Amino acid sequence: MSRTGIKGSKSRALAAATAAALLVLPLAGASTAQAQGETSRSAATEAAANVAGTWAVHVHIPGSPDVVTNIHFTPGGIAFAASSGGSGPWTKTSTNHYSYRLAEPMFDGNGTYLGRLDVKQNIVVSGDTFTGSGETKVYDVNDTLTATVPVTEDATRA
Which pLDDT score, from 0 to 100, does residue 90 have? Answer: 98
Per-residue pLDDT 10s for the chain (158 aa) are 444 444 444 444 434 333 333 333 333 344 444 445 544 555 554 544 589 999 999 999 999 999 999 999 999 999 999 988 999 999 999 999 999 999 999 999 999 999 999 999 999 999 999 999 999 999 999 999 999 999 999 999 99
Domain range list for the chain: 1-48, 51-157
47 Cβ contact partners less than 8 Å away, ≥ 6 residues apart: 92
- Contact criterion met (CB below 8 Å) for 41 and 49: no
51-157 CATH choice from 3.30.530.20, 2.40.128.120, 3.30.70.260, 2.40.110.10: 2.40.128.120
Which pLDDT score, from 0 to 100, does residue 41 have? Answer: 52
Interatomic CA distance for residues 46 and 49, integer angstroms: 5
Alpha-carbon Rg for the chain, nearest whole angstrom, is 27
Which pLDDT score, from 0 to 100, does residue 50 have? Answer: 87
Longest dimension (CA), the chain: 97
Which pLDDT score, from 0 to 100, does residue 138 have? Answer: 98
Interatomic CA distance for residues 54 and 87, integer angstroms: 13
Q: Which DSSP string corresponds to the chain?
A: --HHHHHHHHHHHHHHHHHHHHHHHHHHHHHHHHHHHHHHHHHHHHHHTTT-EEEEEEEE-TTS--EEEEEEE-TTSEEEETTT--EEEEEEEETTEEEEEEEEEEE-TT--EEEEEEEEEEEEEETTEEEEEEEEEEEETT--EEEEEEEEEEEEE-
Which pLDDT score, from 0 to 100, does residue 4 have? Answer: 42
Which pLDDT score, from 0 to 100, does residue 18 have? Answer: 36
Which pLDDT score, from 0 to 100, does residue 43 have? Answer: 54
